[in-house]
Every structure is written in structure tokens, then in C-alpha cells.
Structure 1
Amino acid sequence: MDAKRSGPQAPRLAEIRSRWLDAVIAALQDDQPVVGAALVGSLGGGRADDWSDIDLLVVVEDAALHDFVAPGRLPSGPGQLTFAIDARHNGPRGTRAVSAQYILDRLPLWVDWHVHPVSLAHWPSDCSVVFDPRGVGRTSADFSEYLNRGQHEPFIPKSPQEHQAMLLALVPVAGKQLARRSPEAARTIEFLGGPYEPEAAWEDQLAALRRLLDGFSTLGRPDSLAAAHAFLALLEETLYRTAA
């Protein structure tokens, strides 16, 4: 682990993540335009805990880039895709990115897909390559440096409904930060529309997240809403057990 505090053990989350990842990697290996794949972020760098999300770097044939990130094209494994948004602005020109939420066993899993054409691709120094039959080259840059090289893709404006759906999907992300007792939790709660209370007890921050969920009840996304409530219930149970 790095200097960032890891969260308490939550084996159910780790099992869901592992099961999704095993199925999706198998699907990617059988996907003809896919050249290779690697874990990046905390999983790729060996810094993950049970609360960590998934960051995948997928290298595809240049001609397949546009179609590969089309709605419904990315593999969902055993999960139900409940949210996906174009996040290409998070990567350099000529690449694509999608942020998505899947639901497995009634709990949410956040996945950031980074899809790069083989002509521009290298494996970052801090990634974990899952498969690479063509021998994509390496770079000395870490993943953050790799993403921030050169000019970025332009931001694609989101509709108000898309923005609200994204905020709902980010509630469990705030819960993950709360599990780690990270100061980022207070900032994320504020971004979601709640109060900025960095000194508040975790019980109060959890209550703020539940109030925010009540505001999403009319959004028409019952599966995401139920999964977020289930995630916060698991978070509360885990933190009380840890404190006991």
C-alpha cells in the first residue's frame, strides 16, 4: 500500500470486483480487435484495497477505436451496466475513455475504461499487463504522466439528466473515500450537492450521503439508487464492526 490509508476489509466488494474482472478479461481476450489489456490505477500499481475501483487500459486496432467504445459494445461481464459516460477528455488526443457503473449482487462497481489505438499505445511503468500477444512497447512514464501527455481530447458536454445520473453513480465513490477516512470524502460530498464538513464524524457524512440519495429518487434510475443504498449499508456495517 502507498501512503494513502486503506479501508477496512470488505471481502464481498473484493469478490465482486474479482469476478467481474475475470469474466471481462476473458471476453477481451476473445475480442478480435483487442491487442492487449492492462490494469492501471491502484490495482495495476499494487496499491488496491477491497474498496478500490477498476481502471483498465485496453489497446485496440486503430480502425476499431470508435466502434469499440460505442454504447453497449464494451463487455459487461456478469454485471448489469447502469451508467456510462464519455470521459475522453481524461486522455490524450486520439484516445477514448468511458466511465461506467455496473451492478453485481445488488452492489455497484465503478470502472474506468481507457481505450487506446495500438499506434499510440505503450504500457505505463506502473501498470500490470494482463495479456499482450503483440508485444506493445513500454514507457518509463507512470499512468498519470502517460494520460497527461500532449493535448487532451475535448470535453463532451453532458445533458442535465446525464449529469444527475453521474452524481448518483458517484455516491458510492464518496462512500469508498469515507471508508478510508480520506479528506476527499468531504470534497466529494460537496461536489454531489451536500455540505462541506471536513471535520464531521463519519456517521454524519454517511447521513449526508443518504440525504443526497433521497434527492435522486425521482431520477428514474431505481437500480442505481438501490445499489447505492446497499453500498452505504455495507459501509455502515463495516465501519461499526471495525470500531467495535
Structure 2
Amino acid sequence: MTAAAPSAPRLAALRTRWLDAVTAGLRDDPSVAGAALVGSFGAGHADDWSDVDLLVVVSDARLDGYAPPAPVEPVITIDARHNGPRGTRGFSCQYVGDGLPLWADWYVHPVSLASWPSDCAVLFDRHGIEHGIEHGIEHGTLTLGEQLAAGEPEPPTPKGPDEERALKLGLVPVAGKGVARRSPGAAGLIAFIGGSYDPDATWEQQLAALRRLLDDFAGLGPPDSVAAGHAYLDLVADALSR
């Protein structure tokens, strides 16, 4: 059984401030019909290290031009529409605040396809989405994963080397989160980013590998992201050393 992750109150405070500002921005946008927390927050098992996953329902006319609101502009934005069914959009973004990175996955669905998943926490709903029926299925009976896997996936957008590099840079703290949680999956993510696959590595060795990867990204990726990644790994080391 995986040990409980150590506390990280600074990360939790950053995430709370960011989410409060984002929720206010969503409420102020008349094209947004509703929004919900999904992922670990929607399912009720988030911890201090959890990233943010948001499902946003927008008017059909705004789907292609929609950009998520944020208290600060993201330093990295990846088009992630391929993670959802045809007719939906998605973004994976890294933000930096208080010198630390915050990763957020956005699932953007049009009102015509909207359905709240069973494992979500609705922030607001101006459209009565939870009371409708989609494709003969009553809303609230499918998990987010089941919704995203339903039907034909949205075709991915081509990604050049700069976007591929930005994705791997943004995933360094995500891998660091896995190290903090002592997750077996951390080794695979480190390998995906560009490190060696070593499932037997200690957490110190895993952090050292991630620091080397960040050094490789220096000069190639956004400087704020590289600096925030180092600060995040320092935080992981401090938490695991307590």
C-alpha cells in the first residue's frame, strides 16, 4: 500500500488562490453555461499535491474560440482535444504563481453535448445541465473517464518539436508529484520526459534525474517554467526529508 503523501501547504494555498480567481472568471463569462471540478477534486480524494481538472460547458458558438480564464497567463499551453470525444475541446496548461508551477487540465464541452459526470463537483450551472438526457442516458450516470471514452475521439492537432518539448518540460513537476507520493508510475513518467526508466531508483535518485532534465530544458523552454520546476523539486525534497 502506497504511503500517504507528505503535506504541502504552500502548494495547496497556491491552488486555492488560483481556483478562486478562475471560478470568478468563469462566472463572469456569459458564454459559460456551467463549470465543475473533475479528477481527484471531483471524486473527493485530492491531496495537497493534486493538480486541477475542470470541465467547462460553453455555448456551441464559443467552442472553437474559447480560451480558459486565469489570474495569470499560462506559461505553457498544450492543445489536448484528443483526450475527449469528437465535438469537444481540451487544454493542458502550466501556470506559475508564488514561484511554483500549477498544472491544470481543461475539458471544454459545448452545451449541445453537455452532461455532468457522476464523479464531479459542480461549481455552478446556469443551464440546468444535470437535469437533461444525452443520447438516451440520464446525466450523472457516467464517470468523466466513461464520457471521454464514449464515441469517436477528437482528432489531435499536429504538434511541432517546440510544443513536444514544452509538454515534457511541463510534466517535470507532474513527475515530481509522483515522487512525492512515492507512486510506482513516477518511473515511467520520468522515462517519457527523457530520463532513464529505473523502477528501483530511490526518491533522491528520481529527483536528481528530474533536475538533470530541467537543466537540459534551460534555454529551450520558458525560463519561468524551468525556475518553477526547480523550486517544485526542492519542495518535494523538503517534504520527503521531514
Return the TM-score normalized by structure 2.
0.94
* Uncovered stretches (5+) of structure 2, i.e. residues with no partner: 131-138
**Residue 25 (structure 2) pairs with residue 27 (structure 1):** yes
**Residue 49 (structure 2) pairs with residue 51 (structure 1):** yes
3-state secondary structure, aligned to 1:55: strand
Counterpart in the other structure of 1:101: 94
Shift of residue 156, structure 1, vs aligned partner: 1.1
User: Contact 2:165–2:221 (CA<8 Å) still a contact in 1?
Assistant: no
Report the AA paired with residue 14 of structure 1: A
Counterpart in the other structure of 2:136: none
* Uncovered stretches (5+) of structure 1, i.e. residues with no partner: none
Report the AA paired with residue 30 of structure 1: D
Separation in 2 of the partners of 1:66 and 1:25? 21
Distance 1:118 1:15, change over 3 A: same
Counterpart in the other structure of 1:74: 68
Report the AA paired with residue 66 of structure 1: D
User: Contact 1:95–1:153 (CA<8 Å) still a contact in 2?
Assistant: yes
Cα shift readout 1:196-242 (whole Å, capped 9, x = no counterpart)? 1111110011101011111101204111000000000111111101x
Shift of residue 133, structure 1, vs aligned partner: 2.2
Ranges of 4+ aligned residues in structure 1 off by more than 6 Å = none
Counterpart in the other structure of 1:178: 179
Separation in 2 of the partners of 1:233 and 1:199? 21
Report the AA paired with residue 175 of structure 1: G
Counterpart in the other structure of 1:164: 165
Shift of residue 5, structure 1, vs aligned partner: 5.2
What are the within-5 Å matches in structure 2 for residues 122-141 of structure 1? 122-137=115-130, 138-141=139-142
3-state secondary structure, aligned to 2:57: strand
Q: CA RMSD in A?
A: 1.1
Cα shift readout 1:111-133 (whole Å, capped 9, x = no counterpart)? 00000000101000010000012
3-state secondary structure, aligned to 1:113: strand
**Residue 238 (structure 2) pairs with residue 237 (structure 1):** yes
Separation in 2 of the partners of 1:218 and 1:5? 36
Shift of residue 76, structure 1, vs aligned partner: 1.3
Q: 1:89 aligns with which of 82, 95, 108?
A: 82
Separation in 2 of the partners of 1:134 and 1:160? 40
Cα shift readout 1:109-167 (whole Å, capped 9, x = no counterpart)? 00000000001010000100000122103230111101110000001111101111111
Return the TM-score normalized by structure 1.
0.93
3-state secondary structure, aligned to 1:59: strand
Separation in 1 of the partners of 2:73 and 2:239? 25
3-state secondary structure, aligned to 1:67: coil
User: Contact 1:88–1:98 (CA<8 Å) still a contact in 2?
Assistant: yes
State how many pairs are aligned: 234
User: Contact 2:2–2:182 (CA<8 Å) still a contact in 1?
Assistant: no
Separation in 2 of the partners of 1:134 and 1:164? 39
What are the within-5 Å matches in structure 2 for residues 185-200 of structure 1? 185-200=186-201
Report the AA paired with residue 26 of structure 1: A
Report the AA paired with residue 190 of structure 1: A
Separation in 1 of the partners of 2:108 and 2:4? 28
Cα shift readout 1:157-192 (whole Å, capped 9, x = no counterpart)? 111011111111100000000000001100000001
Distance 1:4 1:25, change over 3 A: farther
